[in-house]
Amino acid sequence: MIEFVRPHIDWHAFAPELIVLFWGALVTIVDLVFLERARRIMGPLTGIGFLLAMIPVLTLWDQADDLPRVLFDGAYVVDNYALLLKGLFLISGYVIVLLSSNYMAEGDYYDSEFYQLIGASILGMLVMTSARDLISIFIALELLSIPAYLMAAWRKRDLKSNEAGLKYMLMGVFASGILLYGMSLLYGAAADTRLSEIGAALADGESTPLVTLGVLFTIIGFAFKVSAVPFHTWAPDTYEGAPTPLTAFLAVASKTAGFVALLNVVLFAFGDQSDLVEPFMWILAAATMTVGNLVALRQTNIVRMLAYSGIGQAGYMLAPLAVYGNRPAQAQQAVVIYLLIYAAMNLGAFAVVIIAARKTRSGEIESFGGMLRYAPGITLAMTIFLFSLSGVPPMGGFWAKFWVFKVLTDGWELWGTLLALVVAVNSVVAAFYYLNVAKQMWFLPTRDGDESPLVIPPALVAAVAITVAVTLITGVTGLVPDWADFPALAAAP
């Protein structure tokens, strides 16, 4: 008989997750008790929950000397890397609630449940940032994915939305099956589920078939989640068919969570398997950015274009992982900086798409024609997002690309430099389709001739204001690298 010893739990380190969990329960109870009467306050209530959960994130960040805080025997680690990403997920969750509020209320969908599912999914992402154990990574991945399958099919009567949900669900479940098979092999090779122990067991860099299969299947499982080519086919269809706020959620929060999982596994468990992982990542990154950008060139629907552009951007984010072997800390920093800036500029672009669709009722790029005449402020905001996405200097997107280049060309090794060239060529290609949208907005006439000023709901104005502010501040000050300095990994051998 083994005596049960209650493990020590650092409640403060665990507080953001607990707040989102209990607030989600509260929102559900409010919905159950007040039914229709509470419908109008559901969105704001969920948003307040995300902002409340920011408080412990900030207090933990303030006590930087106590970091990293390790829970559950190393299965759950709260360090400044995890905290920065928790902040990113909570703010993105808040912005997505702002984007959803009018869309949901006016479309006559079930909105209370939608917000509860967003809360559940964000909780999964918060857990993902700290998960350093195969079991918790798997649980976090499913907790963030399963609500998203439901939300993608949210417009029940719409065949396109049904199809979006079906494709996303089948591909997602299939991917998690492959991921789990890889994880089971890794567990077999290392006899432990903690990433640090797996890293120690694979430290000799020797590749038995068991390890090779385990590593590749695990990476392929996450490649579906971050929509890397050739595992990207679900993304454009799901993005087009799903409700647009949910598309923003998938393109930003869900993709970021996939990258966080990939970073955790690659950096903490596969640190000494770089001979195997780097070439695979090189091919994945080069294929992802090239295919994404080339296909985006010929899209006529703005949401599909943003979907393929998101695939291209995912390629840039994968690139630092192709050279992580010698400089894991810089690779980690480059990916996290890109994720932060990408979240702001892409959420902003989707916010503008939602605003424009309120007038034009269309997703075609041509429907953006003449926006300058009826919504000058939004036109300016969209121009900032597009310039940032294509990486033009004073915007945040420039710094995101700059740090990717810096880590790729550090030391001018052959393969890293080649990949930097691929990134450069792709950035030029991408500028064509981003600037085409800007051209429509600034120089072409409106399609229906109606140029009366557009009335924009305050929630959407707030969403655009937050994302513009982040894009500009990160761009002008170049501030993010100071926050994204992760001593834990740099100190590790």
Partner 1 sequence: MFINQFLIFAAVLFCIGVYGVLTRKNGVLVLMSIELILNAVNINLVAFGALHQHVAGQVFALFVIAVAAAEVGVGLAIVLLIYRNRRSINVAEANLLKG
Q: Which is nearer to partner 1, 171 or 356 (CB)?
A: 171
Q: Which is nearer to partner 1, 184 or 477 (CB)?
A: 184
Q: Is 108 exposed, middle or buried (0-12, 13-18, 19+ CB in 10 A)?
A: exposed
Q: Which is nearer to partner 1, 183 or 252 (CB)?
A: 183
b/e for 451-490, b at 16 or more Cβ within 10 A? Answer: eeebebbebbbbbbbbbbebbbebbeeeebbebbebebbe
Q: Does 167 bind partner 1 (CB under 8 A)?
A: yes
- Please report how close the Cβ of residue 475 comes to partner 1 at its closest, in angstroms: 32
Closest CA to 272 of 324, 332, 309: 324
Q: Which is nearer to partner 1, 58 or 135 (CB)?
A: 135
- Please report how close the Cβ of residue 143 comes to partner 1 at its closest, in angstroms: 9
Residue in the structure block whose two tokens are 């000494």: 272
Q: Does 160 bind partner 1 (CB under 8 A)?
A: yes
Candidates 79-87, 135-143, 324-332, 423-431: pick the segment binding partner 1 (CB under 8 A). Answer: 135-143
Q: Which is nearer to partner 1, 183 or 323 (CB)?
A: 183
Cα separation, 227 vs 307, whole angstroms? 10
Identify whether the C-beta of residue 241 lies closer than 8 Å to the C-beta of residue 161: yes
Q: Which is nearer to partner 1, 301 or 409 (CB)?
A: 301
- Please report how close the Cβ of residue 192 comes to partner 1 at its closest, in angstroms: 7
Q: Identify residue 257 by its one-letter amino acid code.
A: A
Q: Take residue 160 and report the two structure tokens written for it.
A: 């396109």
Strand-pairing partners, residue 70, are 77
Taking CB under 8 A as the criterion, which residues in 202-261 touch partner 1?
236-237, 240-241
Count of residues interacting with partner 1 (CB under 8 A): 43
Cα separation, 194 vs 196, whole angstroms? 6
**3-class DSSP state of 245:** helix
b/e for 164-189, b at 16 or more Cβ within 10 A? Answer: bbbbbbebbeebbebbbbbbebbeeb
- Please report how close the Cβ of residue 141 comes to partner 1 at its closest, in angstroms: 9
Q: Does 178 bind partner 1 (CB under 8 A)?
A: yes
Binder among 157, 455, 482, 491 for partner 1 (CB under 8 A)? 157
Q: Does 132 bind partner 1 (CB under 8 A)?
A: no
Q: Which is nearer to partner 1, 310 or 475 (CB)?
A: 310
Binder among 69, 86, 304, 401 for partner 1 (CB under 8 A)? 304
Q: Which is nearer to partner 1, 365 or 422 (CB)?
A: 365
Candidates 95-103, 185-193, 248-256, 386-394: pick the segment binding partner 1 (CB under 8 A). Answer: 185-193
Candidates 169-177, 311-319, 398-406, 449-457: pick the segment binding partner 1 (CB under 8 A). Answer: 169-177
Closest CA to 213 of 179, 253, 247: 179
Return the HEC string of 401-431: HHHHHHHHHCCCCHHHHHHHHHHHHHHHHHH
**3-class DSSP state of 397:** helix
- Please report how close the Cβ of residue 23 comes to partner 1 at its closest, in angstroms: 22
Q: Does 165 bind partner 1 (CB under 8 A)?
A: yes
Q: Does 169 bind partner 1 (CB under 8 A)?
A: yes
Cα separation, 214 vs 186, whole angstroms? 5
- Please report how close the Cβ of residue 160 comes to partner 1 at its closest, in angstroms: 5
Binder among 107, 177, 279, 458 for partner 1 (CB under 8 A)? 177
**What is the DSSP-derived secondary structure letter of residue 253?**
I
Binder among 173, 424, 476, 479 for partner 1 (CB under 8 A)? 173
First to last CA, the chain: 40
Q: Which is nearer to partner 1, 197 or 451 (CB)?
A: 197
Q: Which is nearer to partner 1, 26 or 170 (CB)?
A: 170
- For residue 194, which phi and psi values (nearest 5 degrees)? -75, 140
Residues 6+ apart with CB under 8 A from 68: 77, 78, 79, 80, 488
Q: Which is nearer to partner 1, 219 or 463 (CB)?
A: 219
Residues 6+ apart with CB under 8 A from 420: 319, 405, 408, 409
Contacting residues toward partner 1, per CB under 8 A: 134-135, 138-139, 142, 146, 149-150, 153, 156-157, 159-160, 162-167, 169-170, 173-174, 176-178, 180-181, 183-185, 187-188, 191-193, 236-237, 240-241, 299, 301, 304
